[in-house]
Amino acid sequence: MEKKTVIFISKLEQSLELFINQGHELGVSEDFHLEGRTVNQLAYNPISEDSLVVLSSKFILPTIEAYLPQKQKYIIAKRTVNYKNIRNMLDIPRGIKVLLVSDLQKRANETVSLLKSSGIDLDFYPYYPGGTYSEDIQIAITPGESKFVPPSIQKVIDIGSRVIDLSTWIEIYAHFKHEGRDSRKLTARYLQSIVYITEQLRDEVQKANLLRKHLETIVDRIEDAVLAIDDEDVIRLTNHKALQLLHLQGKDLLNHRTANSIPSHFYQIIHEVPYEKEEIVHWDNQTYFFRKTHIIIEGKNMGYLILFRKASEINKLEHDYRRKMLNKGLIAKYTFNDLSGISTSFQKVTDIAKKIARSNSTVLLLGETGTGKELLAQAIHNGSPRQSGPFVGANFAAISETLLESELFGYEEGAFTGAKKGGHIGLFEQAHNGTIFLDEIGDVSHSIQNRLLRVLQEREIMKVGGNHVIPIDIRVIAATNKDLECMIEEGSFRADLYYRLNILPIFIPPLRDRKEDVYLLTNVFIKKICNRLQRPSFVFSEEARKEMELYHWPGNIRELENIIEYLAHVVDKVVYPQDLLFKRSKRIVEESGETRTLIFEAIKQSYERKGFLEEIRVILQIIHNAKITVGRNYIIRSLQGEGWNITEEQLRYRMKLLNQDQLIKVSRGRKGSSLSDKGVEFLSYLMDKDRALVET
Ligand SMILES: Nc1ncnc2c1ncn2[C@@H]1O[C@H](COP(=O)(O)OP(=O)(O)OP(=O)(O)O)[C@@H](O)[C@H]1O
């Protein structure tokens, strides 16, 4: 049988294309010839009488009537939304204003009713060129007319031109009295496209359910109590913690009105507390930290979120956190208030340091051993905007060369034999968002100097065995008692590293140059130490005080503090010159056993704190065994023979401390060292301790 012709007429070419395409998809083109004419084409492309004309809308009828043959049959197409494009509209939350944009007012209105009758229940505002609209609308939906969308709209969803409704396709078949079989096939195909959409929607619903379950699990894990309430005061989300604190365990609050579901006093709090502010509220004999925030979606207020937690829990958390940081040594204990000193030179130091603290630049602290460089570094950190971040100390004289690299930069799991599982976070990474204190920077080896330079330049590190860089935000404070400029001349310190460090230098004068501070510091330490030992205070006789002022204090404030500690153990009420250790020529072995133990224990602990007591023990042993005066090279070689790898710089530092503690004697002209009597005593004290440990 010869195929009949169906001619679609529309103003727009794209609508004709859409209809013919739809006809192909539905299989209509297997039964009829499908053609299209725009209104303008009718004049030179006339219509043959035996065809059926389908008009895209009744509004074009007056324009085209003249071109239709007299008895021409025509149908006005019923149009519907293209279900394939409906999916995009489902993401728009309910209650949001949406502009429905079309070319004419009536078409905009028509599309609104069409969408509403298809179950898309949004807050539609029809719009057409020349119409008005409210400026707060941010989303527009248009059936293929996006060119008419006002420019202020942020999001446009084009659902495409409207397609032809099933009833019109059936009418086409009915017109030609086509067999019913074909129209059933047509109906089946038409429904298929809708079923496909329904399937898609079902998937979406399942996905949404799954997502909700995920969300609920996550919210349950949050330590805070959570309540999400919509703009109609209905509870939309909550967690175990909230139910527990509100004494509503086992109750289902979801989708219930807040007013009817939660305790009335708490309900009152929710409505009284201002938005977006951390508040402290009292309820149920407890103090809570409470926060209420708006839930804003696509610019519209959809309700509010409440987070609350018992203040006691937060205090405990903060306390635990600080304790952990303290245990790890990541907190700076001292502030500028802990720095005592009235001398003009010391006042100048603190004035400059306070100003410098506020900046983020690298600081270089210069001064003899024991002048308070570490104390000042901590005070600078605590006076800086980074005060709540970590303060990490790295002592280059204390960490052995072999460990230094991995201590500073960390290592990846499996970087070397014996590497910890999960790797190790280095000191630089631990200092992220805080301050790193590079103590004894003058003792650092050449290879580490190179790596430090890179870190300071790039502000990023690479772990040992790692293959990616980790950016770090740190403030650097370095300290040394060495003359770095002299070391540069000798070639033992890199000039470029020095210039990177020497940005804000602060020189702390030695104690002998600020005698006014000796008396003040003496009293500060008497108070502190007597307090700690819970013993009555003591005073200095006039003569002893003079001796203190005359003394040259090679060990500076640390030495002064040690002397007061010693006196606190041995004097009663008044200190006389003969009580002052530095004044006495008596050998330590003449001290009473009790005092000796106290002094040795204090020395032992000071090495332990520095982390190299074991190395000190081996060094003393090597010198002792040699029985003659030995030089540093000999000691280094012997240490290596016993598996200890330390640099010459590190050995020099340790020898200096041993000398200060009078455990070794350095022969004139620095030819070599031997153990002092005190050193021999100290070594046997350490060995006794070791034995006691083994026996227990
Ligand atoms: N101005 C001060 N007021 C009170 N105590 C101080 C002051 N300066 C230093 N101290 C105390 O003196 C001791 C030595 O200080 P610190 O360790 O900071 O010195 P340092 O210069 O870093 O020493 P080193 O170079 O040997 O590492 C510490 O116990 C510290 O508390």
pLDDT tier for residue 82 given thresholds of 50, 70 and 90:
confident
pLDDT of residue 673: 87
Q: With a 6 A CB cut-off, is 369 part of the ligand 1 pocket?
A: yes
Q: Where are the domains of the chain?
A: 4-80+168-197, 83-160, 222-313, 338-509, 510-584, 604-696
What is 222-313's CATH number, 2.40.50.140, 3.90.1560.10, 3.30.450.20, 3.40.50.2000? 3.30.450.20
pLDDT of residue 585: 40
628-646: average pLDDT? 85
Q: For the segment 11-48, what is each residue's pLDDT rounded down to a tens digit?
A: 888 889 989 998 888 888 888 899 999 988 888 888 88
**In the structure encoding, which two tokens stand for residue 403, read together?**
């460990």
Residue nearest to atom 10 of ligand 1 (CA): 372
Question: 604-696 belongs to which CATH class?
Answer: mainly alpha
pLDDT of residue 319: 54
Q: What is the CATH number of domain 338-509?
A: 3.40.50.300
Amino acid at 339: L
Q: Which fold has domain 4-80+168-197?
A: Rossmann fold (3.40.50)
How many CA atoms lie less than 13 Å away from 592 in the CB half-sphere? 4
Q: With a 6 A CB cut-off, is 368 part of the ligand 1 pocket?
A: no
- Residue to mutate, 364, 374, 381, 483, ligand 1, most ligand atoms under 8 Å from C-beta: 374
pLDDT of residue 223: 81
Q: Indicate whether 262 pLDDT > 60.
A: yes
Residue nearest to atom 13 of ligand 1 (CA): 558
Distance of CA 258 to the CA centre of its chain: 35
**What's the N-to-C CA distance of the chain in angstroms?**
112
Q: Indicate whether 591 pLDDT > 60.
A: no
C-beta atoms surrounding 380 within 10 Å: 30
Q: Give the residue, 108 or 92, on which the prediction is more confident.
A: 108
The position carrying tokens 């952990």 is: 324
Q: For the segment 618-635, what is each residue's pLDDT rounded down to a tens digit?
A: 999 999 888 778 888 889
Q: How far is CA 538 from CA 340, 531, 564, in A?
A: 20, 12, 10
Closest CA to 411 of 475, 328, 470, 452: 470
Residue nearest to atom 31 of ligand 1 (CA): 375
How far is residue 502's CA from residue 439's CA, in Å, rounded to a whole number? 14
Taking the model in full, what pTM does it have?
A: 0.47
In 298-389, at which residue ranges do the beta strands (DSSP E only) sit? Answer: 300-310, 363-366
Count the helices and strands in the chain (H runs, E runs): 24, 28
Q: Indicate whether 617 pLDDT > 60.
A: yes
ipTM of the complex: 0.96
Closest CA to 172 of 82, 75, 79, 80: 75
The sheet carrying 155-158 orders its strands as 123-127, 97-101, 139-142, 155-158
Q: Indicate whether 205 pLDDT > 80.
A: no
Q: With a 6 A CB cut-off, is 373 part of the ligand 1 pocket?
A: yes
| String of DSSP letters for 227-275 | EEEETTSBEEEE-HHHHHHTT-TT---TTSBHHHHS-HHHHHHHHHSPT
Q: What is the mean pLDDT of the chain?
A: 84
Please report the atom of ligand 1 found closest to the CA of residue 375. Answer: 18
232-242: average pLDDT? 90
Q: With a 6 A CB cut-off, is 339 part of the ligand 1 pocket?
A: yes
Q: For the segment 466-516, what is each residue's pLDDT rounded down to a tens digit?
A: 777 888 899 999 999 888 988 888 888 999 999 999 999 999 999 989 999
- Residue to mutate, 375, 376, 378, 519, ligand 1, most ligand atoms under 8 Å from C-beta: 375
What is 83-160's CATH number, 3.40.50, 1.10.3470, 1.25.40, 3.30.1050? 3.40.50
How far is residue 431's CA from residue 456's CA, in Å, rounded to a whole number? 13
**In the structure encoding, which two tokens stand for residue 36, read together?**
């299209």
pLDDT of residue 140: 92
Please report the atom of ligand 1 found closest to the CA of residue 341. Answer: 1
pLDDT of residue 496: 94
How far is residue 692's CA from residue 492's CA, in Å, rounded to a whole number? 43
Q: With a 6 A CB cut-off, is 679 part of the ligand 1 pocket?
A: no
pLDDT of residue 589: 42
Q: For the segment 406-432, what is each residue's pLDDT rounded down to a tens digit?
A: 888 888 776 666 666 667 788 898 888
User: Do 226 and 305 meet the contact criterion of CB atoms below 8 Å apart?
Assistant: yes
Q: Which fold has domain 510-584?
A: Helicase, Ruva Protein; domain 3 (1.10.8)
Domain 222-313 matches domain 510-584 at the CATH topology level: no
Indicate the range of 155-164, 196-205, 419-428, 534-543 predicted with least confidence. 196-205
Please report the atom of ligand 1 found closest to the CA of residue 346. Answer: 1
Amino acid at 62: P
Query: DSSP secondary-structure letter at 396?
Result: T
How far is residue 449's CA from residue 427's CA, in Å, rounded to a whole number? 16
Residue nearest to atom 24 of ligand 1 (CA): 369
pLDDT tier for residue 161 given thresholds of 50, 70 and 90:
confident
pLDDT of residue 693: 58
Distance of CA 439 to the CA centre of its chain: 27
Query: DSSP secondary-structure letter at 464?
Result: B
Please report the atom of ligand 1 found closest to the CA of residue 524. Answer: 4
pLDDT of residue 1: 62
531-558: average pLDDT? 90
